[in-house]
Amino acid sequence: MKVIPKATPMIRKALLGTALTLGLGSLVFGTDLFTFGKTAFSEAQTGLRDAVPVSFEIKAARQKLTELDPAVSAAKRVVAEQQIAVERLKTDLAGRTAALDEQAREMAFLRDKIGSGELHYAGRVIRETDMKRDLAARLTTYETAKATLGHKEALLDARQRTLAANERKLDAMLAARGQLEVQIEQLEAKHQMVQARETIAGVEIDDTALSDTRDLIQRIDDELSVREKMLDEDGNTWNGAVPVSEIVKEGAAAEDAAARYDALFGAEQPAKITSDEA
């Protein structure tokens, strides 16, 4: 008699909680509970999929691409083995064909000698009956060899068709793999371009830091301008040193003004202003 183990208290609580949840859900949603649950599961899957970085998905695609390599290698090995088998069979057929041609020439010689009497060779006399018997045996061997050659030719044709199909399959696999590799490279380049554009767009949109930096630079420039102005004004006060360069400049300016005045008024001097009038 088989003994059924009793459920532990924790398992019973879990089963009871699940049953209550399903019961409450069926009371609230009715027959739509399954649909709502399926929709929630689909939304959760979509959320998880959206949370995966694009760079990770590109790496996953490249990993899947490398998983195709064993199948491609296996196809290459099959094609190589079949190519070797076909070449070996071609060599065998070429030898069999040459042997049949040689047998045909020898049988033609015997057939030509039959009816002409005996054949003398190396001190021996070959009678016509011996030539007929030998020709009959040669014909049997030739027919068997020719039938075998026909089977070999059929086998070669079948192997060549199989090899051609596998070569086309291998070419298609290599082309598809190459195309997938190009598409992954394009995705990586596109991803980098999008990242660069997002970086540039982020700088253009969030210009708070740039604005603060500009204000700080302006404040520093204003402060330095004020301090420079104060130094210029302090330079106009007497510090005990004779400003020779300034006196020379002012003297030159005065002489130039006097020359311009004499050129303008000449000998006719206007009446001078007395101290009282001034």
Report yes or no on 159 lying in a domain. yes
This prediction has a pTM of 0.50
- Let me know: does 54 contact 189? Beta carbons within 8 Å: no
CA dist., res. 163 & res. 166, Å (int): 5
Report yes or no on 121 lying in a domain. yes
Q: Regarding predicted confidence, which is higher, 88 or 180?
A: 88
Average pLDDT, the chain: 77
Structure tokens at 231: 């130094």
Report yes or no on 252 lying in a domain. no
pLDDT tens-digit profile of 167-225? 999 999 999 999 989 998 998 898 888 888 877 776 554 567 667 777 778 888 887 78
* CATH code, domain with 195: 1.10.287
Give the per-residue pLDDT at 3: 45
CA dist., res. 185 & res. 234, Å (int): 69
Report yes or no on 138 lying in a domain. yes
Residue 73's domain comprises: 66-202
DSSP lists the bridge partners of residue 119 as: 126
Domain count, the chain: 1
Give the per-residue pLDDT at 113: 84
